[in-house]
Chain A
Amino acid sequence: MMKRWPVVTRLLPLLAGLALLLSACGREDLSALRPQGPVAREQFGLMQLSISIMVIVVVVVFALAIYVLIRFRRRKGDDTIPVQVEGNHKLEIIWTVIPLMLLVVLGVPTIQSVFGLAKDYSQDENAIQVKVTAHQYWWEFEYPQYGITTAQDLVIPEGKIISIEAQTADVIHSFWIPSLAGKIDTNPAGNVNRMFFQADRTGVFLGKCAELCGPSHANMDFKVKAVDEASFQRWTTAMAAPAVLPEDPAVAELLASQCLTCHAIGDQGISLYPDLTGIGSRESVAGILVNVPEGEAEYTNEGTVYENLKRWLTDTEAVKPGNQMGQMDLTEEEIDALASYLAEQKLEY
């Protein structure tokens, strides 16, 4: 028995190293292995615990298997018949009981966490309430406390509990921000799911749809933008401000006939499809065309807001196959005018 302990002490640094490796995996704003808030951190803690236990199991089994395979390989010309062992009660009890104990070690924190993460903040006045409605292939965020609705960018104050009420307008989607919290499905017909999360710091975090929802499932990204409390208040005010329509009456007419029949900007238009208020200061166009400052585009899906809007309006199907907007019948000049106007719809916060 004494001999086993050095093995354990030798394993510990290995485990620590593995944990370190895991914690350095992936992008800070996207990876479940680099949690940026208490919920994701708790889930990551459970992962680390389970991975550690499982690494021990794997190491023991592998070591045993390798030893057995080398020690008991058939040598050339060896024709002896091994002893036919029926079994061994002591051993069999050992490998029944030890796994059971390991499961207790994992099971207790699992149950605690299941109930802890099921806490309902929907009546908590200090929490920010957000109604998430998933659509093929975009996200609608309604803030009932502020009477505002936005799309694609979920703006939140840092360090506050965000209480989510999730549902879908069509098929099942799943709301997931890996670096902040695990996912929750959006079910149809008023079958509402709740979850909560919190961001430790300001910054932009990547969110994704995690349930197959049609051709553009892969493109159904969104962003969570954590800002400081004061900025958040400014943002809610700016969102509620009336829309500034284009000065050029031709463009205003175009906007009214081509965009505002489905979309809303401030107090104008109707909100059937993504709300466009402040679209110029969003992180992306259509979820996957990432907005970057002029000249900083690194990848094919990046560009300035204006470029991305133009790209979207020119060929929506190429950006998001199967989207419900379809192809607008617009000339190049019209696209240009709309893109310029929309790109200027920036909110100060």
Chain B
Amino acid sequence: MAHGHTVKRYTGIMDWITTVDHKKIGILYLIAGGFFFLIGGLEAILIRIQLWQPMNDFLSADMYNQVLTMHGTTMIFLAAMPILFALMNAIVPLQIGARDVAFPFLNSLGFWTFLFGGLLLNISWFAGGAPNAGWTSYVPLASPVYSDTHGVDFYVIGLQISGIGTLIGGINFLVTIINMRAPGMSFMRMPMFTWSIFVTSALILFAFPALTVGLAALMFDRLFSANFFNPEMGGNAVLWEHIFWIFGHPEVYILILPAFGIISEVIATFSRKRLFGYSSMVFATVLIGFLGFMVWAHHMFTTGLGPVANALFSIATMLIAVPTGIKIFNWIFTMWGGSITFNSANLYAIGFVPTFVMGGVTGVMLAAAPADYQYHDTYFVVAHFHYVIVGGLVLGIFAGLHYWWPKMFGKMLNETLGKITFWTFYIGFHLTFFVQHFLGLMGMPRRIYQYLDGLGFNQMNLISTIGALLMGIGSILFVVNIIVTSRSKEKLGADPWGDGRTLEWTIPSPPPEYNFLQTPLVRGFDALWKEKMDGNKTVTPAEPVGPIHMPSPSILPFFMSVGLFIGGFGFMYHQYIIGGVGLLITFTCMILRSLYDDHGYHIEVEELEKGVKA
């Protein structure tokens, strides 16, 4: 029987809380990630205001440490990753011709745990102080002895909860990409963005458990007086550094690989050319992902691991330059002989290439351990990782948002505003971070709340602050652009750029809830482009029109996350009854989910013909 059962369709806010539709979850990720991006950006501005002149007293020393910790933590875990998850959710199922992800319920759970974890972390501002031991939370500084507010407790529990979301998101996308590709979509026909998400998801699967273990151990140290990292009781402080960076280094590739994927799509589309050296791009992505696990100790050259470890990790780190170089040249040669359009999406993508090269070469410089004894923990490092994370990842995200906005929302972002935003942000970015290389080499350590006068740091810090303000203006302009765009009444077709190459451009913008009326048949790499070149309007369907099976919406993921939120709060303050109630809510939801069979529902052919509202 085609009918599972009738399903309750929610509207308004209930629709968003209960949705398991990957496109809506993508939008939720985008809103939440964007919100945290603005908070993290505000923290960045506070940091730069504090440092605009020597011995400034805008922020107190301890407040500065809280702001710097929350800036890093928020930007990495609550802004960058969720916005990537937004694009992953919105685009990957479309690119592989799927109707949804493999586990729609888990997808929703992933979002809500991330959101409540992030909110918990940020509540620390109003609960006696935010975490203040840096986003790396090195012990003993982060131990209860030296950090006696609840700040680091919020860090440990907030990140643990939001980390659950990331881990199940990663697993979900691995399964989706392995199992749910349309007929004909072999691995070596997958779009580059999907490939990069595939490798990223694998990295999440292997890297996040390390963080989970580390955070659990630190939580026991802090809440229940365990001694995993307490040297006086036989614990080991260097162990935390290892655990953190075994997670932390793959994490930076988790962040940058999707950006590589986005850039590959955008540059190819707006050069009207096939991605140059697709197979070597795939190979390079996998290799970067693999090597990403072999280099964690380059964050620890000054920890005192000895010359053998330092030499090995130096060489391993330098090796990453090779696959990265392959990618850079492949992008340039994708444009070579192409027909390049300079719209805002492509401006970000083109701007990405030289900026990322600059971040990459300083990465190789940092890999030379003896030179790193000088660079380590200075503004040189700050400049380096902002070049790869802002100049790489954030530019990539902006490129992706401009490129896929019409697919996600059915409207083009305003081009004029987009270009102004690009130039403001781009110039601001280089102003902020270029000079920081020199500050570091001239002797300015990172994470300092003030610097003395007369050390020669003044001018460059002022320049840096001006740049940061420009970046702030750029970010606000982007928000303005979203508001302006949301008011426009334009209706777009399936392929608004006209040069779409991949499957997402074969379906309406925004796509209906079932994505593909008929699952497409993929006949080659760049499936849509191939059909266009063969004189077809769109891809051939692989099945007749029939009832489409859909997963039911559910409120359970929301309540499971609320339960974890309450539980985390309770345990942090040693209120075990509250903690127990929180966990009880979560477990009850899990039991409900396990006992109550929900087979979803079908959208019938008659309904499909009428056209279902997205």
Chain A residues engaging chain B, CB cutoff 8 angstroms: 22, 25-27, 30-33, 40, 42-44, 46-47, 50-51, 54, 57-58, 61-62, 64-65, 68-69, 72-74, 78, 80-88, 91-92, 95-96, 99-100, 103, 106-107, 110-111, 113-115, 117-118, 136, 170-172, 174, 176, 178-179, 181-185, 187-189, 191, 193-194, 206, 208-219, 221, 288, 290, 298-301, 321-322
CA distance A37 to B406 in the complex (A): 59
Known contacts A65-B353, A68-B336, A83-B337; is A182 also within 8 Å of B445 by CB? no
CA distance A78 to B271 in the complex (A): 12
Residues of A within 8 A of B443 (CB): 26-27, 30-32, 178-179, 206, 208
Whether B362 is near chain A, meaning CB under 8 Å from some CB there, is yes
Apart from the given pairs A114-B314, A174-B376, A301-B453, 12 other A-B contacts in the complex at a CB distance below 8 Å: A65-B332, A82-B339, A84-B273, A107-B314, A171-B141, A183-B374, A183-B376, A187-B238, A189-B232, A210-B302, A210-B446, A300-B453
**Inter-chain contact A183/B365, CB cutoff 8 Å:** no
Residues of chain B in range 450-492 having any CB-CB distance to chain A below 8 Å: 450-456
**Inter-chain contact A72/B445, CB cutoff 8 Å:** no
Residues of B within 8 A of A88 (CB): 276-277, 333
**Inter-chain contact A171/B314, CB cutoff 8 Å:** no
CA distance A194 to B373 in the complex (A): 13
Residues of B within 8 A of A300 (CB): 55, 453
CA distance A311 to B271 in the complex (A): 65
Whether B341 is near chain A, meaning CB under 8 Å from some CB there, is yes
CB pairs A–B below 8 angstroms (11 shown): A31-B443, A54-B362, A57-B357, A58-B357, A64-B332, A65-B353, A69-B335, A92-B329, A178-B443, A188-B231, A189-B231
Determine how close the nearest CB of chain A comes to the CB of B440; give it in whole angstroms. Answer: 8
Determine how close the nearest CB of chain A comes to the CB of B315; give it in whole angstroms. Answer: 6
**Inter-chain contact A178/B374, CB cutoff 8 Å:** yes
Partner of B321 from A99, A113, A208, A299 at Cβ < 8 Å: A99
Known contacts A103-B318, A322-B61; is A27 also within 8 Å of B455 by CB? yes
Determine how close the nearest CB of chain B comes to the CB of A62; give it in whole angstroms. Answer: 6
Selecting from B194-202, B303-311, B538-546, the interface stretch reads B303-311
**Inter-chain contact B304/A191, CB cutoff 8 Å:** yes
Selecting from B96-104, B116-124, B132-140, B597-605, the interface stretch reads B132-140
The interface bits of chain B over 318-329 (1 if a CB of A lies within 8 angstroms of the residue's CB, else 0) are 110110011011
**Inter-chain contact B329/A212, CB cutoff 8 Å:** no
Determine how close the nearest CB of chain A comes to the CB of B266; give it in whole angstroms. Answer: 14
Residues of B within 8 A of A84 (CB): 273-274, 533
Number of chain B residues close to chain A: CB under 8 A: 93
What are the nearest 6 A-B pairs in CB distance?
A182-B373, A189-B231, A26-B442, A218-B448, A193-B304, A215-B61
CA distance A292 to B353 in the complex (A): 50
Whether B350 is near chain A, meaning CB under 8 Å from some CB there, is yes
Residues of chain B in range 22-65 having any CB-CB distance to chain A below 8 Å: 54-55, 60-62, 64-65
Partner of A92 from B146, B273, B280, B358 at Cβ < 8 Å: B280
Whether B577 is near chain A, meaning CB under 8 Å from some CB there, is no
Determine how close the nearest CB of chain A comes to the CB of B221; give it in whole angstroms. Answer: 14
**Inter-chain contact B370/A95, CB cutoff 8 Å:** no
Determine how close the nearest CB of chain A comes to the CB of B476; give it in whole angstroms. Answer: 28
Whether B372 is near chain A, meaning CB under 8 Å from some CB there, is yes
Residues of B within 8 A of A27 (CB): 442-443, 455-456
Determine how close the nearest CB of chain B comes to the CB of A214; give it in whole angstroms. Answer: 6
**Inter-chain contact A212/B138, CB cutoff 8 Å:** yes
**Inter-chain contact A87/B353, CB cutoff 8 Å:** no
**Inter-chain contact B342/A73, CB cutoff 8 Å:** yes
Partner of B369 from A82, A103, A110, A301 at Cβ < 8 Å: A110
The interface bits of chain B over 341-362 (1 if a CB of A lies within 8 angstroms of the residue's CB, else 0) are 1100000001001100110011
Known contacts A64-B332, A83-B337, A188-B231; is A111 also within 8 Å of B311 by CB? yes
**Inter-chain contact B374/A212, CB cutoff 8 Å:** no
Known contacts A99-B321, A212-B134; is A188 also within 8 Å of B447 by CB? no
The interface bits of chain B over 365-392 (1 if a CB of A lies within 8 angstroms of the residue's CB, else 0) are 1011111111011100000000000000
Known contacts A99-B325, A208-B443; is A214 also within 8 Å of B141 by CB? yes
Whether B441 is near chain A, meaning CB under 8 Å from some CB there, is yes
**Inter-chain contact A73/B447, CB cutoff 8 Å:** no
Determine how close the nearest CB of chain A comes to the CB of B334; give it in whole angstroms. Answer: 9
Whether B279 is near chain A, meaning CB under 8 Å from some CB there, is yes
Chain B's closest residue to A85 (CB) is: B276
Known contacts A170-B146, A183-B376; is A191 also within 8 Å of B238 by CB? yes
**Inter-chain contact B237/A172, CB cutoff 8 Å:** yes
Residues of A within 8 A of B315 (CB): 107, 110-111
Give the one of B332, B373, B533 with max A CB within 10 A: B373
**Inter-chain contact B273/A85, CB cutoff 8 Å:** yes
CA distance A125 to B1 in the complex (A): 90
Chain B's closest residue to A119 (CB) is: B307
Chain B's closest residue to A74 (CB) is: B339
Residues of chain B in range 426-441 having any CB-CB distance to chain A below 8 Å: 438, 441
Determine how close the nearest CB of chain B comes to the CB of A59; give it in whole angstroms. Answer: 10
Residues of A within 8 A of B311 (CB): 110-111, 114-115
Determine how close the nearest CB of chain A comes to the CB of B64; give it in whole angstroms. Answer: 8
CA distance A290 to B306 in the complex (A): 36
CA distance A176 to B448 in the complex (A): 14
**Inter-chain contact B310/A114, CB cutoff 8 Å:** yes
Residues of B within 8 A of A57 (CB): 325, 357, 361
Chain B's closest residue to A188 (CB) is: B231
**Inter-chain contact B272/A187, CB cutoff 8 Å:** no
Determine how close the nearest CB of chain A comes to the CB of B312; give it in whole angstroms. Answer: 9
**Inter-chain contact A182/B442, CB cutoff 8 Å:** no
Residues of A within 8 A of B319 (CB): 103
Whether B449 is near chain A, meaning CB under 8 Å from some CB there, is yes
**Inter-chain contact B280/A87, CB cutoff 8 Å:** yes
**Inter-chain contact B442/A87, CB cutoff 8 Å:** no
Partner of B302 from A43, A47, A106, A185 at Cβ < 8 Å: A185
Residues of A within 8 A of B134 (CB): 212
Determine how close the nearest CB of chain B comes to the CB of A78; give it in whole angstroms. Answer: 6
CA distance A91 to B337 in the complex (A): 15
Chain A's closest residue to B366 (CB) is: A50
Residues of B within 8 A of A182 (CB): 302, 370-374, 376
Partner of B340 from A64, A69, A106, A171 at Cβ < 8 Å: A69
**Inter-chain contact A176/B65, CB cutoff 8 Å:** no
**Inter-chain contact A46/B452, CB cutoff 8 Å:** no
Determine how close the nearest CB of chain A comes to the CB of B209; give it in whole angstroms. Answer: 25
Residues of A within 8 A of B447 (CB): 212, 217-218
Determine how close the nearest CB of chain B comes to the CB of A331; give it in whole angstroms. Answer: 27
Residues of A within 8 A of B353 (CB): 61, 65
**Inter-chain contact A32/B442, CB cutoff 8 Å:** yes
**Inter-chain contact B368/A106, CB cutoff 8 Å:** yes
Residues of A within 8 A of B60 (CB): 215, 321
Determine how close the nearest CB of chain B comes to the CB of A209; give it in whole angstroms. Answer: 7
Known contacts A31-B441, A69-B350, A216-B61; is A92 also within 8 Å of B373 by CB? no
Residues of A within 8 A of B339 (CB): 72, 74, 78, 80-82
**Inter-chain contact B303/A185, CB cutoff 8 Å:** yes
Whether B496 is near chain A, meaning CB under 8 Å from some CB there, is no
**Inter-chain contact A172/B376, CB cutoff 8 Å:** no
CA distance A73 to B232 in the complex (A): 65
The interface bits of chain B over 178-204 (1 if a CB of A lies within 8 angstroms of the residue's CB, else 0) are 000000000000000000000000000
Known contacts A26-B442, A188-B231; is A172 also within 8 Å of B140 by CB? yes
